[in-house]
Every structure is written in C-alpha cells, then in structure tokens.
C-alpha cells in the first residue's frame, strides 16, 4: 500500500495543505502519522478526497458530506450511504432544475427587453409613450395601462 505525504496529496488533488488538514480536523479524512508525527495518507484517502471534491462541486456542504461519510460507521455494507447519496442527489437535481427554470425566465425577460428596445421607433423615449396602446408587447409591459 502506497503512502503519500501531505504535499504529495496536495499536488495530486489540487487542494491546499490547509484544506487537507481541515478535512482531517472535521473527520472527513482519516490520517495516519509517522513516529515523528508527520501525516501520511493512503490510496483510499485519495479516493475519499476526490469524493469530497466531487460532492463539493455538486453543491454539497461539508456538513452534508460529513453526514454521508460518517454513515460508514453505522453500516459497513455501504447501503445507507448509497441510499443517502441517492436522496441527496435527487434533492440537488430538483433544486437545480428549479433554479434553471428561474434563470430561463430571467433570460427570456432580458431578451424581451432587448427586442422591445431595439424595435422602439424613438429609442428609449418611445417606451413608455404614445405608441404603447398599439405595441405588440403591451400584454407583458409593466408600463402599459388600459384607459
């Protein structure tokens, strides 16, 4: 089994030394020490670090990650962690789909404003103005009011 010094782990993962130490302090990563007190890590620790990085990229908090990792102590089969990950992934996916819908509505609104201003005969001054009643966008416009 290969052993890695913390500097090697940092180079292999792109994480800072401080981050690796912090993950150890939080209990997200087990670390062994030499007789001289120097930290060293195994291949399995690298896998955990990469999993942590993946989960962080997917929007998991360190608290959520810790909860998932610590399920190992309750269930050696890994089934509880698998089920928790499935639940969390589905939740994150649902949240992201909702955020995507909101972002798409925002993009559509910006496109509408761009089109509206590009088509205005007298630039910005024409909107709102005397042409509002005949404007094709009056149903969406917050400035138009029926008399």
Query: Against a cut of 0.85, is the pTM above it?
Result: no
User: What's residue 133's pLDDT?
Assistant: 73
CA distances from 4 to 10, 18, 22 (A): 10, 16, 17
The list of the chain residues with pLDDT below 50 reads none
Q: Classify the C-alpha dihedral 26-29-31-37 as positive or negative.
A: negative
User: What's residue 73's pLDDT?
Assistant: 84
Q: Phi, psi (5° rounding) for residue 2? A: -80, 145
User: What's residue 78's pLDDT?
Assistant: 87
User: What's residue 9's pLDDT?
Assistant: 95
User: What's residue 130's pLDDT?
Assistant: 66
CB 22 within 8 A of CB 63: no
User: What's residue 140's pLDDT?
Assistant: 74
């Amino acid at each position: 089994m290969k052993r890695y010094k913390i500097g090697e782990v940092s180079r292999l993962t792109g994480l800072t030394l401080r981050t690796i130490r912090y993950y150890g302090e939080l209990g997200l990563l087990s670390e062994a020490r030499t007789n001289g007190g120097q930290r060293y890590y195994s291949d399995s620790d690298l896998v955990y670090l990469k999993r942590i990085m993946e989960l962080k990229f997917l929007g998991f908090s360190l608290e959520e990650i810790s909860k998932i990792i610590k399920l190992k102590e309750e269930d050696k089969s890994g089934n509880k962690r698998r089920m928790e990950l499935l639940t969390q992934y589905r939740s994150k996916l649902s949240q992201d789909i909702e955020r995507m819908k909101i972002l798409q509505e925002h993009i559509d609104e910006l496109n509408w404003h761009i089109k509206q201003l590009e088509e205005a005969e007298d630039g910005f001054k024409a909107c709102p103005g005397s042409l509002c009643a005949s404007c094709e966008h009056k149903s969406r416009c917050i400035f138009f009011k029926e008399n």
